[in-house]
Every structure is written in C-alpha cells, then in structure tokens.
A and B are shown apart, each in its own frame.
Chain A
Amino acid sequence: MNKIHVTTNINGDPVEYLCEPQETLLDVLRNNLQLTGAKEGCGSGDCGACSVTLNGRLVCSCLVLAAEAEGQEVTTVEGMADGDKLHILQKKILEHAALQCGICIPGILVASKALLEKHPDPSEEQARYWLAGNLCRCTGYDKIINAVMDAAAEMRGA
C-alpha cells in the first residue's frame, strides 16, 4: 500500500504516523493514535463534534486529510486539561451540568477555547454564532452558553 509517513505535533508532543492518502485527520486521531476525544458525528463538516485546531485555527478534523498534518501543529481536547487539573471551560461545563449524552462536548470545548483565545470577552450573541457549527441534540444550548460565558468571566479574572 502507498502509506504516507507523517511527522506532526499534537498537543505539544512530536507524533509520527502512517496513513492512507484518503484517510482524514479524525480517522487517524481516533483509530491510530487512540485520541478518541474528537467524535465523528456527521463526517461532513456540519456538526463540529470532530473540532480540533490546526496551526491555531479551529477546523473540522473530518474535513482535513491526515497527510495534511505533516509539519503542522494540532491540538485536541486531550490537550486541554493539565494532568488531573481540568481547564476552566471543562469545570464550568460540569458545574452548569451543560451536557447530557456528552458526544458534542469535546468539540464544544475545543471550539469555546478557540473563541476565548480570540475574544476573551465575547457577547452572548458572539458566543452563539461562534458555536453555530457545534450541534448538540440534547441540551438546547442554553446551559452550554452559560458555562462558556461563566468560564470567560472567570478567565478574565472577574
């Protein structure tokens, strides 16, 4: 088989893998690297459950070829907590009970982290639009948005 050898960086660690040319980054994260935080909800860019960052940009890993990660920097939800210490966003999602089945939450966390890095003081409307590509079938979104706004306030030291 014409496997491609990829050298990349995931959550700050150098990583190497072999992939098929048509395999996606999501396939490789989940199947080869056991980074199963990113989920496959749709595989077509609609649900955001597969959200990761690629060179600091929020993207759907289901729409990135695994081979494209060569020499790039990827972060996933697995890189959010510092050992046992949860990221503020993770704590707030738990505190606000902002999840039911939880499938969407890794994507919501990665996307919200990217939001707060770019807009530390987002309006609620801004947060809702930013997360419009992260679908949740369970919560009705209010609790998620409340958790994100609360996390934003805490991260600003308010």
Chain B
Amino acid sequence: MRFEAPKTTELAVALLAQETGTARVLAGGTDLLVQMKMDMITPDLVVDIKHIDGMHDITPEDGGFRIGAAVSGAALGEHAGVCALWPGVVEALELIGSTQVQGRATMAGNLCNASPAGDSVPAMAAAGAVARIAGPDGTRDCPVADVPVGPGKTSLAKGEFITSILLPSRPDNASDAYLRFIPRTEMDIAVASAGVSLEFDAAGTCTAAAVILGAVGPTILTADASCLVGTKLEDAALEKLAACCSATATPIDDKRGTTEFRKDVVGVLAKRAAKIAQTRAGAKS
C-alpha cells in the first residue's frame, strides 16, 4: 500500500485516476481504517485529502454554507451559523459514533461509505445538499441524494472525489430534524431513520416538505411528503405521512429489526421529526 497526502485537488485527482489497483480517499478514516483492518478492503493507494487547501473550511455561500470534505462532526457542531440554518443536518452528523469518532468523521465520508444506515445522509438529502465533485474531467455538482447507488456503492467515477458539500440557503420559517431508532442511547447503527425538512408561510401553513428515510432500503428512500403541504401538521396529515413512509420503506429482516418493525417505526420517526422541525421553524400548529 502507498500513502499519499497531496496538497492540491489536481494532484489528488491525478493520483486516484492513475492508480491501476484499488485506490481509496482518506478523510476521517473511521470507516476506511475499520474496513482495512477487517480485510474487507486492501487498498493499493490511500490518498489523504486533509492537506488540500480549503478542505477544512466552512464558507458562507449564497445564504447557505459550503462544508469542506475534511470538516469533522466536532468542527461542524461548533459552527453557530450552520447549527442555526440546518440543525437537523448537524444533529444527524453528531449522532455518528462517540466523541472520538466525532473528532474525525466527515459528512462526505459518511456519504461515500454508502451504508444504507449512514446517519447524515437522509438529513443532507432532505436539505437538498449538493456535493461538489472533482475529477479527471473537471468539477461537477451532484445532489447528495444521487451519490449512493447501493450498499457500499457510489456514482463517483474513477479519479473522482468530493471536495465539499453545499448546504443551501432556506427561507424564513423553515427548519429540519433527524431521528433514528437504535436499541441503545449511543454508539449504535440506525435500525430505521428519517430526515425531515419543512418550510412554512407566515401563518404556519406548510408550503414545502422533504422526507428522506434511512436504513429501510438499499439506499436512502424519498417518501412522498405532499400530504403535509397546505396543512399545519395536524394529526390527520401526520398519520398520512407515517402511512406513506411505512409504504415506501423496503427494509430487510435482520437481527437488528424485523421488516414489520422497521416499516412501522420509520413512520413514527418521520412524524416526530416533522413536529420537531415545525417547532424549530417557529411555526404554530
């Protein structure tokens, strides 16, 4: 195995593109190192992207924030601006692992690891986050939701890697929330999860809703949240949302939860996350 820590994006792309064997990007390493130690993956080349300019930056952009690919959960959680604008994304990223894992884990790493249970992914997708991807053919922008294509698989081509993720601007009276179910209170993998982002008008009526489900399919799943639009999240609307989420979910049966349980609980999580987002948005029910 070769280890490289290039100083520029161009060098990193060239290294990744030219490697004939298995190449892996290293961000926080909290997935990659575990997988290497378990011999799930034996890379010929590891490219540490943390020395590239801008990778640790959080920069305001068009009313939103561009988050560098090496920004850890701990660093994001210390950024008051991001916490105020996208509290659901921050809480989702902060649910990952322990304080130690938070010191290293990144959003882009969580996304590119492409686990169906990755906690920040539903929240980012609900937020409409966009990944900036550098590659041999230059730079492109891709909705976060289109990056994972199956367990452990992404849509990134050879030589490509994410340099930053944009959390967009949002209107007033809008907020988001993320909830997961785990059997413990800490340090566990989601059995089912939901990221919810809502917008309201001045009277408190919901004008836009995005609900993304995690851990109940091979990738994140988008639930039809149109039943919330035009409502003030009354019980009937929330029941419709829960039913819709349960119908959308296609979970597996495993030791962590049965299909039936996961389908049911993902609806409950979506309802509760919607109520939290509503409260955060300052909307009256």
Q: Which residues of A contact B (CB under 8 A)?
A: 2, 4, 21-22, 24, 43-46, 48, 51, 54, 57-60, 62-65, 67-68, 70, 111, 114-115, 129-134
In the complex the two chains form, what is the Cα distance from A130 to B37 in whole Å?
Answer: 26
A57: B residues at CB distance < 8 A: 72, 74, 103-104
Would you list 18 pairs from A and B whose C-beta atoms are within 8 A, ordered by A residue? A22-B36, A43-B37, A44-B38, A45-B33, A45-B34, A48-B100, A54-B103, A57-B103, A58-B103, A60-B101, A63-B101, A64-B29, A68-B5, A68-B26, A114-B99, A132-B186, A132-B187, A133-B101
Which secondary structure dominates chain A's binding surface?
mixed
Q: Which residues of B contact A43 (CB under 8 A)?
A: 37
Q: Which residues of B contact A133 (CB under 8 A)?
A: 97-101, 186-187
Separation of A73 and B37 alpha carbons in the complex (Å): 24
CB contact list, B63-112 vs A, under 8 A: 72, 74, 97-101, 103-104
Q: Which chain B positions have C-beta within 8 A of A60?
A: 100-101, 104
Closest to A107 in B: B100
| Interface pair B30/A65, CB less than 8 Å apart | no
Number of B positions contacting A (CB below 8 A) = 26
* Measured CA separation A108–B263 after assembly (Å): 39
- With a cutoff of 8 Å between Cβ atoms, the chain B residues found around residue A115 in the complex are 99
What residues of chain B lie closer than 8 Å to A21, measured between beta carbons?
Answer: 1-3, 46
Q: A21-B2, A44-B34 are in contact. Are A132 and B98 (CB under 8 A)?
A: yes
Task: Tell me whether B48 is interfacial, beta carbon within 8 Å.
Answer: yes
In angstroms, Cα B103 to Cα A56, docked, is: 9
Q: How far is the CA of A88 from the CA of B124 in the complex (A)?
A: 42
A65 engages B26 (CB within 8 Å): yes
Cβ–Cβ contact B30 & A45, under 8 A: yes
Using a Cβ cutoff of 8 Å, how many contacts connect chains A and B?
82
Contacting residues, chain B, for A64 (C-beta < 8 A): 29, 33, 104
The smallest beta-carbon distance between A140 and chain B, in angstroms, is 16
Given contacts A45-B100, A58-B99, A59-B103, contact A67 B187 (CB under 8 A): no
Contacting residues, chain A, for B5 (C-beta < 8 A): 67-68, 70
- Residues of B near A134 (CB, < 8 A) are 98
When distances are taken between beta carbons in the complex, the residues of chain A under 8 Å from B3 are: 4, 21, 65, 67
Q: How far is the CA of A60 from the CA of B37 in the complex (A)?
A: 14
Q: B104 to A59, Cβ gap below 8 A?
A: yes
Given A24-B33, A54-B103, A68-B5, 20 other A-B contacts at CB below 8 A?
A2-B2, A21-B1, A45-B33, A45-B97, A45-B101, A46-B187, A57-B72, A57-B103, A60-B101, A65-B26, A65-B33, A65-B48, A68-B29, A129-B186, A132-B98, A132-B99, A132-B186, A132-B187, A133-B99, A133-B187
What's the Cα separation between A75 and B103 when bound, in Å?
Answer: 14
B109 to chain A, nearest CB (A): 12
Residue of A with least CB distance to B184: A132
